[in-house]
Amino acid sequence: MRIAIFTETYLPQINGVVTHIKILKEGLEALGHTVLIVTADSKTRKHYIKDNVLHCPAHNLKRIYGLDLASPVSRSRLHYLREFNPDIIHVHNEFSIGLSGMAIAKILHVPVVYTLHTMYDDYIYYIAPKPLVPLTKKLSHRYFRLFPKYANVVTGPSKKCQEYTTEIGSDKKVEVIPNPVELDAFSPQTSTPEQREEIRKTFGIPLDATVACFVGRLGQEKSVDVLLKFWAEEMKKEDNMYLLIVGDGPEKPKLEELAKELHITDTVIFTGKVMHPELPPYIHTCDIYVTVSLSDTNSISMLEGMAGGLPVLQLYDELNADQVRDGVNGYMFRDAKEMGARLRQIRDMDKDELDKLKTSVIQSVKNSGAETLANYIQTIYYQIYKTVPPKKSPILHLSGLLSQNGFRHK
């Protein structure tokens, strides 16, 4: 099959969506499919294809995750897609490139798969002051309904995606397909004891200490402030436990200041930005992955930790409760006291017990690689390609797609 994947963000940028798409592309190509990535690129002034990626001219929005935003309407883009002649269009983002994918699918009479990655209600604070959040939320729901409405199939990595689509007023069923992880890249064998020791020495962490880590972009939605407060409440210097916060983001200065106010700077360390290829040794120098974020659907950073053998401690989230199974790949906790107890439980395991748990953790993600994801998605592609013939309705251009749903083009 010929598959066009539409995404606002792609390599060399790194985030969960990019990692998902990169792994999906590799898996589909290994199965013999031809994949074209269509993405926004603020570094180009004209459309061009290189290495099966269609780069679309865009503007960079530094305030909003550094997102590149392209025009949703482009004759050049449509020309390239006509030449590519896709069997399936797969939309992974909901902004200009995502809109473009939905409109081009209508023009070319091609079925659409839409993957929802993000719970956007948790990100409204990026664009709206607090008094305008309710109105912005209402308008955003109206807008985001477009995507499940015009997709043949909707997928998402968590049950939370179904909750969100229902919340925005869509009755479309969400097929839950868990996120993938680069198993080989994060296997414990990919780093050396010397690399791990060097990281500990760099940050002044004793070699015999137990280290918990959180990896991710330091935005408000990740609730790292809650993690720091839990840590301050439960963990003492004499516990010989450290917390490594790996990543950067707009909240980093505030979080560092909060750590000072909580008097935990002797056991909490901020590494700053770590490039993705350099991340595995940081994972492997740690012993536990911990998160209190309730905005994630199926955190790829968490899965990378699991691939590295780190048992996960996750704040209980009913719709994500099946992702961490007590005693198999980690433990759920409901408050600071329970988090502290679980941290100390893992710290106090003897070597045989800990090795057994780490083996179980790695085993729990062994089916989360490129091949598994591609096979899941391939099944969906074949189903809609065979059972949902391209619609012979009149061409619906982007302006029509918007106006049908109450949006006025000026």
pLDDT of residue 66: 65
Roughly how many angstroms between the first and final C-alpha of the chain, as a whole number? Answer: 38
* Token pair belonging to 29: 């190509």
* Token pair belonging to 342: 């679980």
48 strand-pairing partners: 55
pLDDT of residue 10: 95
CA distance 240 to 94: 45
b/e code 126-157 from CB counts within 10 Å (16+ = b): beeeeeeeeebbeebbebbbbbbbbbbbbbbb
pLDDT of residue 406: 46
pLDDT of residue 388: 64
Of 39, 33, 46, the residue nearest 10 (C-alpha): 39
pLDDT of residue 64: 61
Find where tokens 């433990």 sit: 331
Domains of the chain: 2-180+369-403 (3.40.50.2000), 183-364 (3.40.50.2000)
In contact, 60 and 43? CB cutoff 8 Å:
no
pLDDT, mean of each 10-residue run, the chain (410 residues): 96 91 96 97 95 95 74 95 96 95 95 93 76 86 94 94 94 94 95 96 96 95 96 94 96 97 97 95 97 90 97 92 92 97 97 96 94 95 79 44 45
Q: Is the dihedral of CA 326, 358, 300, 176 positive or negative?
A: negative
Please give the single-letter amino acid code of residue 129: P
Range 386-391 contact pairs with CB under 8 angstroms and sequence separation of 24 or more: 388/111, 388/152, 390/108, 390/109, 390/110, 390/111, 391/106, 391/109
CA distance 314 to 79: 47
In contact, 283 and 273? CB cutoff 8 Å:
no
pLDDT of residue 410: 37
Phi first, then psi: what are they for 289, rounded to 5°?
-105, 130
* Token pair belonging to 324: 């961490």
Of 286, 313, 299, the residue nearest 191 (C-alpha): 286
